[in-house]
Each structure stands twice: as C-alpha cells, then as structure tokens.
Amino acid sequence: MLIRYRRFTLYPGVSPHPSQKGFTLIELLVVIAIIGILATVIVASLGQARDKARTARTQSDLNQMRNIAVGAQINTNETLLEITGSANSYSSCPAATVLSSLAPTHACRADWETAIDTIASVYDTQQSAEILYSDAWGSPFLLDENEGELIGNPCRHDTVTSAGPDRIAFTGDDITIVLPFENC
C-alpha cells in the first residue's frame, strides 16, 4: 500500500529545500562588504575633491587680492606699507596656532580685515572686501608689507599667505602669492 503525504509549506510556491533558490548568509555578507569598500573609496575621493576645491578657491582669492593691491598702489602711487601703515599686518597672529580657531575679535583677524578694507577702499572697489576676510579653511590671510620696509634693502616683495589646509601659518602647506613692486 502506497501512502502519499501532502507537502505543506509556509509560503506557496517556495521550495522547502533551500539548496536551489535564494542567497546564503555568506553571500549577503560578501555583498555588504563590497558595498562598504566602495562607499569608503567614494568618500575618500570626495574628500580629496573638496580639498582641491578649497585650494582653488584660495588661489582665486589670492589673485583677486593681488589685483586689488596693484590697483591701490597704482591709484595712490604708494607701497602697501604706506597704504596700510604697517610693516607686517600678520605680526599679531600667534605662531603654531590653528588660525581658523581664533575669535572674530582676535587682533590677528582684526589687523588683516583692517588692512584689506583699507587697500580695497583706496582701490575704490564697489564690492566689499569682506569676502576676502578668510581663506577657504576659515583662517585669516597673512599680509607682509615688505617693499620699502628696510632702508638698506627697500626692494623686497610684499606677500599674502594662506595658512593652508592645516590652518597653521608658516608650515609646508601654506599658499603664498608674491605681489609686484610699486617703486622698485
């Protein structure tokens, strides 16, 4: 006598034998690991792209400052030292300090903002110099008015420097632009 049993499954149409269909736990873990690795690579690439964009913005700001400074020198026939009244506007900036963490009222920021506002007003620009108050990393720019500073060596270039990605002045990642002479 042949007895037939009817097979019942919890889900109609699904085989009770898992060896034929579906994913194993190991396969799912491998897929999740691959997605995690790809996400890490993408995030790292975006970080590098963000750094390149900040560097490009800072270079653009420095070029704009050069144009404003040269225009101010042409308008007044004076050196930046004579325009700003300072031999180095960055002298109040502390060494080995993250400049972006300085308070808005810190002398380092105030001296830079006063210098760029003075230069921009002499240049007679219609746009505010406020966009040039800090670099792409939030640090104030550092202006060194060198031309005419030393009597024995008056022909030294003025410079404007960004502290760069590490936000600490005078380290290897600084971005500096040299301004042309006015009188030399």
The per-residue pLDDT string of the chain (184 residues; one tens digit each, 9 = 90 and over) reads 555 555 555 555 555 555 556 778 898 999 999 999 999 999 888 888 899 999 999 999 999 999 999 999 999 999 999 999 988 888 899 988 999 999 999 999 999 999 999 999 988 766 678 888 999 999 999 999 988 888 888 888 999 999 999 999 989 999 999 999 888 8
pLDDT for res 57: 95
pLDDT score, position 19: 55
Distance CA 142, CA 109 (A): 9
Domain ranges of the chain: 59-178
Q: Hey, how many other C-beta atoms are within 10 angstroms of the C-beta on 74?
A: 12
C-alpha–C-alpha distance, residues 184 and 136, integer Å: 32
Whether the Cβ atoms of residue 144 and residue 158 lie closer than 8 Å to each other: yes
How high is the pLDDT of residue 116? 92
pLDDT digits (tens, 9 = 90+) for 109-122: 999 999 999 999 98
pLDDT at 115: 92
Question: How far, in Å, CA of 31 to CA of 58, rounded?
Answer: 41
Beta bridge partners, 162, equal 175
